[in-house]
Every structure is written in structure tokens, then in C-alpha cells.
Chain A
């Protein structure tokens, strides 16, 4: 029974330390801001840090825990952003702006992105192999382009939709254009604050860790490790993979909601919802460690803050950044360093148990 307690303690400590890290991180940064010690640049980084962290941990569920490569995570963020922002912009037009509206918007973003993930996952996750990577890559690019071609308006007679231009909407007196093609949504209400971002991140962390430490997470990891064996003991592999992918997509949608309500304008650009963004998130996950939720947050924070501090090197910024990135990758995955880390961890956790370290 002692072994069981050991495992349970380890899982519990891990989950707790991740949650505490978010809380303490928030407390420290908020005090720094309150004491007027933070530059506008740093202040402006706080909500994005929460957004990137949520994106990283949700992608880690798909890539690290479920073992499926997704290259379109930013696409789900995009869906969450637009679905929720249409709602809040419309509510603003009706004169409704409150925290409750934002909470509903978060749910809308989660459901819309989750649904998109579910629909993509149904056909793709039945197949074995890296088909998800190809399909999500295409999806991410397509969704961005589709949104850029959409015109949506509202007036006293209801919603109007067009693929041509905003004049084509024929809006009546007092009506507004909600989505204006490539210009996106303007005058969006700005609900996202550092506090709200941190709370949502915390909720995502707790939900995700609980999920991973349940039989759902266990089954998903079992399927990742050996699909044939998992099926032979009665697991429906596609169903569990679909579940992980849907939850991961929904969380990316929530990150999108935060993103949409952090700025005045929301437009689908290659910069924010494109392929590059998806790869950036993937880098957070790989660097933070596959399946390591806490690591994902740490690497998302470091890799978001780092380029900002490197602004001083202006011209060489991206060069230095890439070099640092490659160095970090080499070091965090170097076998010698890994052994050292495992050694250290097992000493802390299991005392004298050598077997954990000495793989044959």
C-alpha cells in the first residue's frame, strides 16, 4: 500500500505545485505592477502569457498525452475568438456589457472550438498514422481565410450575412457591421484582465491535471503507448483520442476568447492565428516536455518574455532567440541531463529505489 501512497502523493504534489506556480506567479507580477515597477511593455504581456500558457497546456494534452500531432492549434483559438466576439459585440450593441456576458462568451468559445475539433477528429482519428497533422494544418489555414471573407452585420431586423462586402449587408438605421471581412471585428469589448486570465489559466490547469489523473487520462496514455495492446483489453482507441482532441480544442477556444477581448480589434492574421502561431505553441510543448503540464507553462512564459527582453538587440533579436531556442532544446532533451534530472527526482521521491534509474 505504501507504493500506492507514493504514486498518489507524487501526482498530487505535481498538480498542486502547478496550480501554486500559477497563483504565486500571478501574485508576484500583480504586486510588481501595483508598485508601479512594471513597464507598459511588461504590463501588456500579462494577458498574452496566460493565453500562451493555456494554448501550450491544451496542445500538450493532444501531443504529449494523446500522442497525436496537431499543427493547427491556432485555428481552434481563432474559432473560439470569433465565436465569442460575435456574441459580445452583439451584446455590446444591445447595451449589455457585464462579467456574466463574458462568462457566457467563454463557454461559447469553448463549445464552438470543441465542436470544430470533434467534427475534424471523427474521420481523422479513426485512421492510424499522422493524418491529424496534415488535416489540422489545412484546417488552420482554411478557417483563417474563410473568416477573412465573411461580412456579418446586425440591425433592428436581425443578423445579415454576406461574402461580398459590408455594403452588401444593406444594414438599416442604427445597424452595425460585426465582422468586416479582413478587417475583422472592431470595437470589441475589452474584458480580459490579468486577473481573469490567471483565474482561467488556473481553472484549465486544475481541470487538465484532474483529467490526466483519472481513468480517462490513463486510458488515453495507454493508447498512446501501445494502441494494439490497449484495444486488446477493451479500449476504444478512436473514442479516447477524440475525447482528448475535443477537450484540447475547446481549451484553445478559451484562449481565443481571452485573446479576442484583450484588444479593440480582432482580425484573423497569419501572425495571430496562422501556421507560425501553431508551431510556436508546439515549440512550447516540446520544450516544456511531452505530457508535462507544468513544463508547458514554464516554457510558454520564458519563450514569450525572452524575445521581448531581447528587443535591445533589435536587429539580432530573432537570431539570438533562435540560438537560445536551439540551445535550450538540446539541453532539455540531452540524455545526460535527462538522467541527471531523473536521478534527482527519484532521490527526492523514492529514496533508495535504484530500479527507476537503472534502465537495463
Chain B
């Protein structure tokens, strides 16, 4: 390994890593938001609507992210959807993650004991208030570990954005490798940066988990 390469390439590697984090963060946040909406609609909408959404879920889950990104970036302009690489990548991550997040929220909601929903109905609470005050807070707690887990999986999907020329970490590492003919260093950088990111996310996830389950653990 040649440490001088890292010194020389550190500015573009760091910039690339910044973009990786940005794309991941926005893709995850938007994907979660879309997934939450999907899960709520699936729970409350009439049957025909849920069939349409189920079809969306099956299609997105049944195709590789790479294919989705190609269709969005190269196929989009044919239907008038012209996106720059980075926005296309973020939209792609959002779409790709949404059905998984939706399933995570769905099972989180299912974990809320039905009796606690009934108790709210029995005192005359309206459904929107029940969702906001009981279903969401309790469902999120159950969903949290799986949400963090899938967010971690998504960090590694960002490398695919290099295919549509988003200058994120993978893109810059490839550039470094082809310019210097040193491939070991590139893989080392990828491993190190992703390991660091994943570590931070999972620690953060555990911190939140301890915080929000503080009152829920039985300690009579």
C-alpha cells in the first residue's frame, strides 16, 4: 500500500464520501417517509387502493436497484422526467427503499396490541388522533431496530449511484484506481469509510432505542 496516494486523493475521496452520506441520508429520510405513508394507506384505504399499492411494492421489491436507477435516469427523459445524477440517485434510493420501509412500519403497527387501540376507540377517540397519539409512537418503537437495520443496508446501495455518474465515494475510488493502477488502496478506502458510517448509524440507533424504550420495559 502506498500512503501517498491517500494524501494525494484525500480531497476528492472526502468530497465523495460527503456525497455518499448526503445521498444516503436524503434517500433514507424520503424513503422512510414514503414507506410510512404507504403503510398507513395500506392500513386504512379501501381494498382496490391497497391492491394498486401492493403491486407497486411487488414491482419495486422484485427488481434490482441497478435496473430501477437505469430506468429512472436513462428512461426518465423519454417521458419528460429529466433529472441530474444526484437528484436521480436520491429519488432512486427513495423509491427503492420505500416498500421495505413500508413493510417495516406495517409490522411495527401490527405489534401494537389491539386492545390499546380499542381502549382509545372506547373513550370515543377519532381515528386520526388514535394514529397520531397511539399507533405511531408505539409502532415506531417496535419498528426502530428494523428501520436502523435497513438504513444500514441502504448505505451500501449508494455505490450503485456511481453508474449514473454521481461523484460519490465509489465513483471517486474508481477514478483513483484507474488513474494510479492501485486497486488494493481503493478497496481499503471503501471498506474503511463504510465501516465507519455503519458503526455511527448503529450506535446512534441503539442510543435512540434505549431512550424511547425506557418507559416500556417492565420494571414493577
Q: Are A and B genuine complex partners?
A: no
Which residues of A does B touch, CB under 8 Å? none
Interface of B toward A, CB cutoff 8 Å: none
